[in-house]
Amino acid sequence: MNSARSDFLHVARERGYIHQTTEEGAFLARLQAGPLAGYIGFDATADSLHVGSLMQIMLLRLMQQTGNRPVVLMGGGTTKVGDPSFRTEARPLLSDTQIETNKTGIRKVFDAFLTFGDGPTDAIMLDNAEWLDRLLYIPFLRDVGRHFSVNRMLTMESVKQRLERDQPLSFLEFNYMLLQAYDFLELRRRHGVVLQMGGSDQWGNIVMGTDLIRRMDQAEAFGLTTPLITTASGAKMGKTAQGAVWLNADRVSPYDYWQFWRNTEDADVARFMGLFTALPMTDIARHAALQGAEVNEAKKVLATEACALLHGRAAAEAAAETARKAFQEGLNATSLPTVVSVLPSPIIDVLVEHKLVPSKGEARRLIANGGIYANNQPVTAIDIILKSDNLQDGVIKLSIGKKRHVLLKPA
């Protein structure tokens, strides 16, 4: 995508990335004036990001593709506080050691999407602990805190919801919006960053940052938020019965990641192609016009293209081929995800232990409805015991429905 810098807004809107922007006319003029640097912050609350962060990563990628500089800000400092935005309770406080471990895991994801370096459009990764850990409390309150109205802070949706529900909001969490605004100020001063991006739940915090820069440095700064993504049926995107869809391969294998996209609802295929692949919009329009069974082919394209961006083309095509063999040929493809269990074991225990189903009740329901298979044969009783006699070529192939498969090896 060799678009001019000013195409960033046009392409971002065309592909579905934009929910709100500040001062769009001035923002467009600034894009046309030369390359700009924009950032998104990621707190290190786990050792991997999940699909819920993918649109933010794709937006940073688009910045780089359109000749601008993406900045990844790791929240080594803010993770110690915890973002209260649209949470019903405070996040558990993590140790410095755990935060460092999480940062290392998260970095792996960005290497797949961005080119890092010292060039004008090369991405950089920073850590807000560099300046937040050194803050002196009284000078910070005097220099920065005086620009924040508590009256206004209380109207922020994330704060208002906690108060209306009588859910505790600690003073530590209440400081988060000051720290995020201060991040923007520091990034502008240190690296010339003039754009902050984030999810729609971050709008209030982002606007606070642009206001702080205007008040303290008399300089312009811009904000952009992405829409909350839900599926056509109204579910939160990126959640499955097995939990979050993580981006690191040691959390979710390339095959399972491919399968997640393959299972997209029909009505979401074209939209997700725009958001989560690099396919040209003309190709996406062609896939959007498909009807009936042809939509399944579009889903496979979505799965392969999304998987290729994260895990590489070879891994994506291997996952697609594994799926083809598993579904069309009914073979025990050796690259299916593998679990290990002691045999003999009740099949219900195996399904729950390895999080193939969320509960024993759900396992019983699926078995009763003919939704669980062992070695491509439907399991017909809830008290089936998996034994060594069931092994075929040293494994038992377990299937949950027609689209999720694992190989069970004896311990």
Q: In the chain, what are the domain boundaries?
A: 7-226, 253-329, 338-410
Whole-angstrom Cα Rg for the chain: 24
Q: Is the bond preceding residue 344 a cis peptide, omega within 30 degrees?
A: yes
Extract the tokens encoding 79. 């993770």
Name the stretches of the chain with pLDDT < 50: 1-3, 86, 88
Domains 7-226 and 338-410 share a fold: no
pLDDT for the residue 2? 39
CA neighbours within 13 Å on the CB side: how many for 76? 19
Among the listed residues 257, 157, 152, the one whose alpha carbon sits nearest the alpha carbon of residue 199: 157
Q: According to the model, what pLDDT value does residue 86 have?
A: 47
Tokens standing for 382? 């809830």
Query: What CATH architecture is 7-226?
Result: 3-Layer(aba) Sandwich (3.40)
* Residue of 227, 200, 211 lying closest to 85 (CA atoms): 200
**Residue indicated by tokens 């558990």:** 92
pLDDT of residue 184: 96
Q: Assess contact for 372 and 400: CB atoms under 8 A.
A: yes
Residue 345: half-sphere exposure toward Cβ, Cα within 13 Å: 18
Residue 202 DSSP class:
G
What dotted CATH number matches 338-410? 3.10.290.10
For residue 42, give every residue at least 6 positions away whose Cβ sits within 8 Å of its Cβ, in sequence order, or none.
49, 53, 56, 72, 73, 74, 75, 106
User: In this structure, are residues 199 and 59 in contact, taking their beta carbons and an 8 Å threshold?
Assistant: no
pLDDT at 79: 86
Work out the angle at residue 65's Cα, subtended by the Cα atoms of residues 60 and 67, and round it to the nearest 5 degrees.
100
Phi, psi for residue 192 in degrees, rounded to 5: 70, 25
CATH class of 253-329: mainly alpha
CA atoms of 350 and 367, how far apart (whole Å)? 13
β-strands 338-341, 243-244 pairing: unpaired
> Which string of DSSP letters, residue by residue, matches 11-79?
HHHHHT--SEESSHHHHHHHHHHS--EEEEEE--SSSS-BGGGHHHHHHHHHHHHTT-EEEEEE-TTGG
**Integer Cα distance of 215 and 170 in angstroms:** 27
Instruction: State pLDDT tens for residues 294-340.
Output: 888 999 999 999 999 999 999 999 999 988 877 655 555 666 788 88
Residue reference for tokens 């807004």: 9
161, burial (CB in 10 Å: exposed 0-12, middle 13-18, buried 19+):
middle
State the Cα–Cα distance between residues 131 and 373, nearest whole angstrom.
Answer: 55
Nearest alpha-carbon partner for 333 in 387, 378, 258, 395 = 395
Residue 312 in contact with residue 52, Cβ under 8 Å?
A: no
From CA 353, how far away is CA 87, in angstroms rounded? 29
